[in-house]
Amino acid sequence: MSDFSIAKHFNQYFKIHFASTKELRQEAFRIRYAVYSAELGWEPKNNQQMETDECDDYAYHCLLEHRRTGNFAGCIRLIIPPTDTPDKALPFEANCLASARKEILDTTALARGSFGEISRLAVLSSFRRRPHEKDVPFVLNNVNSQTVYTEEERRNFPNIAMGLYLSGIALASLCNHAGMVVMMEPRLNRRLKRLGLPFQQIGDDMDYHGRRAMFYLDKNDFKRELNEQLKELYDIIKKDMAEQIELKPYNDAPFKIPSTDVTDR
């Protein structure tokens, strides 16, 4: 690892956690509440101050911890649909199938358990807030300048969302998925593509908390087009995740799933 690499600096200040316990999953739910309910108003408020939905019964969360303070900065989840319960849908299946471009990719023809959906990426405002960063749950390329964190730490804040994306991709890779679906803004897709994640648009633009569309990332592209520094970061994150997760067969091999009981929430 080079002396001044993104991976080295990211790993110095942040650590990825797989939410293998009820307590860690609730940390993710609290981050989601702070961002999606309290800040953005996209989801309803509640007394528990935790944002959850029915998909969390079959979703697997990753958290990003700020090492010095022990604070969790953000979270992301990978939803893997149960193979034996067809009515338990992925969010895009419940809300966006009418916009699908089946001539590009027909997700209904993919085996259940062979893919998942990345969603609920959220980064706390203390790790991203600037005056022009309102009404967004995370920022890929800006730095928060008004926090208690050191200047050296703040220089690494732009990598938080990318680190979370890479953790979701690493989890999908560990589960040997054929690919993943994400609902996102086309402009975010352009940024991700510049960073080496060539998501393919598989649905028409639609109004879904702003202009969104369905995108798909094939397993062959999970890291192939990342630059060397981001490949290094991805490899570190995947290694850390592999050490934290116990996998078990899911439906038919070769697909796997974490053995964590995510219904305990």
Domain boundaries, the chain: 6-244
Provide the CATH number for the domain formed by 6-244 in this structure.
3.40.630.30
CA-nearest of 78, 60, 168, 171 to 116 is 78
Residue 192: Cβ within 10 Å count? 20
Q: Is 13 left (phi over 0), alpha (psi -120 to 50) or beta?
A: alpha
CA-nearest of 21, 89, 32 to 55 is 89
Q: Note the Cα 40 to chain centre separation in Å.
A: 18
pLDDT digit string (tens) for the chain, length 265 residues: 445 588 888 898 899 999 999 999 999 999 999 999 999 999 999 999 999 999 999 999 999 999 988 999 999 999 998 887 878 899 999 888 889 999 999 998 998 889 999 999 999 988 875 544 455 554 444 434 344 556 565 555 668 889 999 999 999 999 999 999 999 999 899 999 999 999 999 999 998 878 999 999 999 999 999 999 899 999 999 999 999 999 998 876 689 999 999 999 9
Q: What is the pLDDT of residue 151?
A: 58
Residue 152: Cβ within 10 Å count? 10
Q: How far is residue 146 from each of residues 102, 103, 128, 164, 208, measured CA to CA in Å? A: 45, 47, 9, 22, 31
What's the CA gap between 96 and 80, in Å, rounded? 17
Angle at 67 between CA 61 and CA 73, to 5 degrees: 45
